[in-house]
Amino acid sequence: MAEAQDQSEIFRGTQAGGALRDARSVQGTPAAAAPAFILGEELADMADADPRVVALTADLASANRLVEFKARHPARFFDMGIAEKNMLTVAAGLASCGYVPFAATFASFCALLGAEQIRTDCAYPRMKVRAIGHHSGISMGFYGTSHHATEDLAMMRSIADLTVVCAADANALRAILRESVDHPGAMYIRLGRGRDPVVYGEVPALRFGQAIRLREGRDITIIATGAVVRATLDAAALLAADGIEARVLDMHTVKPLNLAALEAAARETGAILTVEEANIVGGLGGAAAEALVDMPRIPFRRHGVPDEFAPVGPPAALYAHYRLDAAGIAAVARETLKRA
Amino acid sequence: MNPGSNSDAFLADRARFVRTETVRLSRIAGAGHYSSTFSAAELFACLYYDHLKLDPANPAWEERDRFVLSKGHAAIGLYPILADLGFFAPSALDDYTRLGSPFGDHPDMKKIAGVDFSSGSLGHGLSIGLGMALAGRIGGRDYRVHVMLGDGELHEGQIWEAAMAAGHYRTQGLIAIVDRNTLCIDGTTEEIMSVEPIEDRFAAFGWAVSRIDGHDIPSIRATLRALKPAGEGKPQLIVADTIKGKGVKRMEMALNWHVGNLVGQDYDDVMAELMGEEA
């Protein structure tokens, strides 16, 4: 269970000593400059205008900043205690009465512990529950496997009638939250640490199921999702220095996958690399592989966490270990092209 | 509907109707949850014909009382009531469970008018009901939410998460009704995984508790009538002592009738037994 809430300062990078490795961005941005975790503030802003917006958490309001929602909308905030399954099903009950509940906790508990509640109580009856899994992937670093969530994309993607979306940064999250209110059915929204390095200087025009092209290129398309989008863009810059022009797509919606963007990438750039902070089995790479098998053969590689339980370590060290930093992603892209 | 206007005899007849329809529909499907439905027949009849604030012509009426059949395997007894009340045509049940039918062994709210939430996976319904009760609180509505639980269902951990949260949030308008028929699939609850003392356990979680004979119609009516309105206060538990398989001698307290199939002479004999019950 989530007993790390009292250490939430770690994720905000404000703990004494400041140099906590955990709070560093993939790029090595100093902790003090880490972007704000806007979840609570944005939902509170939305709730100002929309009486349907409700928020729930499982004793992690300080970590995910829903404390800011609670302060502004106490009657529409429910801390369900360390009981994630109940939280998700209560959200479904609220949704059945016309509310749009945003239920947030660590991705490991939201998606893994709550998988059946998301499937049976949210997706199957098409309840407008937004299950928000934050601190996904290996971003919990040295907290270890119990707090890592590398399986959530594959698990959530296999659930019918569930939209699966990953936020690349704070502005992407704003766009996703705003778009989600009138989107039909249940959603799983996956965040990194919630203070992920900046990709979007402003709130992007984001439509579910339509990838955002962040960089144009003709040699390869790197399709990324979630908190590794920034590192992927930086990898593209490194590749450009070598004369390799990479198209970069933010495939924020893992389900339904934007097949047209995938097909165009295959046809126009001739090689595809997927990048995700998740087990490469069944996630974004799995989704792309399933689609590409029906298309003409091109060099293709899935990059992410291999099918193993990650070691403990500071997140930045883990990203380097798994080559999910800019240098690593660039190296994998070069290998993908060499195999061509 | 006009709660309270029906006689005890009428409610007993509707309970019999639940049982005969369960037998009829099970034969169409080739299998059915007879005994778990029979134990709840009087509870169903009293809830739907005497208590719940509903409008069959407007199933989505926001002020309606909610009913969540957390023990979803008793849906075969609920469908005939919904048809009888006019939520849909009774003939819709004639292809019960056949390919494409809206009616499966467990209820689907997206396909069946009058079903307030889909169920089937035990342990979820009390949380659903709590969410509905909290929605009523946010929206300033005075409807109440009734959740029928199986007694074996109390084994599920999520029930106790919901019980704890309902006590914490003091959702007086949340009413849990435990169909205490004492049997689960492998044996009695007290052999398999004991659930008693149910009242003490819920009371310790902040609930107001009562215990009644779940086949005694005047007692059920009086207990439902005495329920407190929605608002801030203890959520309310009714433990209804019942007999699994009630109404058909061969099924009463028999483990092998949790799921079964009556055909041929057995079907006719059971139907006659049920029809004679009223004579």
Output the domain CATH number for residue A91: 3.40.50.970
How many domains would you assign to chain A?
Answer: 2
What is the DSSP-derived secondary structure letter of residue A31? G
Of A81, A97, A117, the CB nearest to B135: A97
Which pLDDT score is estimated for A117? 98
Query: Quick check: is B3 in a domain?
Result: no
pLDDT class of A30 with cuts at 50, 70, 90: very low
Band of pLDDT at residue B99, cut at 50, 70 and 90: very high
What residues contact B115, with CB distance under 8 A and at least 6 apart?
B69, B75, B78, B82, B107, B108, B109
Q: Does one domain contain both A136 and A93?
A: yes
Nearest to A199 by CA among A255, A131, A258, A252: A252
pLDDT the model gives residue B257: 87
- Residues of B within 8 A of A89 (CB-CB) are 124, 127-128, 131, 158, 162
Which chain B residues have a beta carbon less than 8 Å from that of A97? 62, 131-132, 135-136, 139
Domain that holds residue A84: 5-190
Measured between CA atoms, how close is B140 to chain A, in angstroms? Answer: 11
- Is there a domain that residue A203 lies in? no
A157 CA to chain B: closest CA distance, Å? 21
**Rg of chain A taking only CA atoms, in angstroms:** 19
User: Number of A:B CB contacts under 8 A?
Assistant: 95
pLDDT at residue A21 tops 50: no
Evaluate whether residue A154 is within a structural domain: yes
Per-residue pLDDT at A5 = 40
Q: Are strands B236-241 and B174-180 parallel, antiparallel or unpaired?
A: parallel
Q: A304, A265, A263, A260: which is closest to A282 by C-alpha?
A: A304
Q: Is residue A195 part of a domain?
A: no
Calculate the alpha carbon distances from B191 to A73, B123, B183 in Å: 47, 20, 9
User: Which segment of A26-35, A99-108, B80-89 scores lowest on mean pLDDT?
Assistant: A26-35
Using a CB-CB distance cutoff of 8 angstroms, which residues of chain A are in contact with residue B135? Answer: 93-94, 96-99
Residue B203 resides in a domain: yes
DSSP characters over A229-287:
HHHHHHHHHHHHHTT--EEEEE--EEES--HHHHHHHHHHHS-EEEEEEEETTTSHHHH
Range of the domain at B70: 8-276
CB–CB of B205/B163 below 8 Å?
Answer: yes
> A44 exposed, middle or buried (CB, 10 Å; 0-12, 13-18, 19+)?
buried
Last residue of some domain: A131, A160, A190? Answer: A190
| Peptide bond before residue B80 is cis, with ω within 30 degrees of 0 | no
Average pLDDT over residues A219-227: 98
Asked if the structure places residue B121 within a domain, the reply is: yes
Contact: A78, B128; criterion CB under 8 Å = no
Residues 6+ apart with CB under 8 A from B98: B28
Alpha carbon of A50 to those of A64, A70, A76: distances in Å?
Answer: 21, 15, 11
Q: Mark yes or no for CB contact B162/A90 under 8 Å.
A: yes
| The pLDDT of residue A7 is above 60 | no
- Indicate the residue of A81, A92, A126 with minimum beta-carbon distance to B128: A92
**Strand (E) or helix (H) holding A134:** strand A130-134
Q: Does pLDDT of A296 surpass 70?
A: yes
Please check whether residue A183 lies inside any domain of the structure.
yes
| pLDDT band for position A27 (cuts 50, 70, 90) | very low
User: What CA–CA distance (Å, rounded) separates B145 from B54?
Assistant: 12
Has residue B264 been placed in a domain?
Answer: yes
Residues of B within 8 A of A117 (CB-CB) are: 124
A202 within a domain of the structure (yes/no): no
CB contact under 8 A, B168 and A81: yes
One domain for residues A242 and A300: yes
Are A93 and B130 inside 8 Å of each other by CB?
A: yes
Q: Do A93 and B168 touch (CB under 8 A)?
A: no
CA distance A66 to A42: 10
Mean pLDDT, range A112-132, rounded to an integer: 98
pLDDT for res A6: 35
Tokens of B250: 């061969």
Give the residue, B259 or B67, on which the prediction is more confident.
B67
The answer to whether residue B116 is domain-embedded is yes
Determine which of B65, B128, B141, B232 to mutate to test the interface with A (most A C-beta atoms within 10 Å).
B128
Which chain B residue shows the shortest CA-CA distance from A96? B132
Whether residue A300 lies within 8 A of chain B, CB to CB, comes out as no
Residue A33: what pLDDT? 56
Is residue B2 domain-resident? no
Smallest CA–CA distance from B121 into chain A, residue: A120
**Does a structural domain hold residue A196?**
no
Is any Cβ of chain B less than 8 angstroms from the Cβ of A75? yes
- Looking at the fold, whether A161 and A297 belong to one and the same domain comes out as no
DSSP label at residue B188: B
Q: So what's the pLDDT on residue B1?
A: 52
Judged against a pLDDT cut of 70, whether residue A201 lies above it is answered with yes
Q: Which residue has the tokens 């061969």?
A: B250
* Dihedral angle sign, alpha carbons of residues B61, B62, B65, B70: positive
The answer on A151 and A82 residing in a single domain is yes
The mean predicted confidence, pLDDT, of chain A is 91
A32 and A109, same domain (yes or no): yes
Rounded average pLDDT over A75-93: 98
CATH of the domain at B90: 3.40.50.970
Do both A177 and A102 map to the same domain?
Answer: yes
Question: What pLDDT is attached to residue A129?
Answer: 98
Answer yes or no: is pLDDT of A127 > 70. Answer: yes
Tell whether A147 and A220 lie within a shared domain.
no
Position A8 scores a pLDDT of 35
Q: Given a cut of 90, is residue A340 above it in pLDDT? A: no
pLDDT surpassing 70 at residue A32: no
Binary contact (A97, B117; C-beta < 8 A):
no
Shared domain for A183 and A236, answered yes or no, is no
Q: Would residue A266 count as lying in a domain?
A: yes
Residue B253 within a domain: yes
Q: Is the per-residue pLDDT at B34 higher than 90?
A: yes
What is the reported pLDDT for B72?
97
* Length in residues, chain B: 279
pLDDT per residue as tens digits for the range A138-155: 999 999 999 999 999 999
Q: Could you give the CA distance from residue B242 to residue B211 in angstroms, rounded to a whole number?
A: 11
Cα–Cα dist B131/A88, whole Å? 9
Q: What is the mean pLDDT of residues A3-27?
A: 36
Nearest CA in chain B to A87: B127
Q: How far apart are the first and last CA of chain A?
A: 45
Q: Is the CB of residue A110 less than 8 Å from the CB of residue A104?
A: yes
C-alpha neighbours within 13 Å on the C-beta side of residue A303 = 32
Q: Tell me: do A160 and A271 sit in the same domain.
A: no
In the numeric block, which tokens belong to residue B196? 């008693």
In this structure, the number of other CB atoms found within 10 A of the CB of residue A293 comes to: 9
What is the pLDDT, as a whole number, of residue B3? 62
For testing contact with chain B, the best of A52, A89, A118 (most B CBs within 10 A): A89
Whether B11 has a pLDDT exceeding 50, the answer reads yes
B-side interface with A, Cβ within 8 Å?
62, 108-110, 116-118, 120-121, 124, 127-139, 157-158, 161-162, 164-165, 168-169
Our count of domains for chain B comes to 1
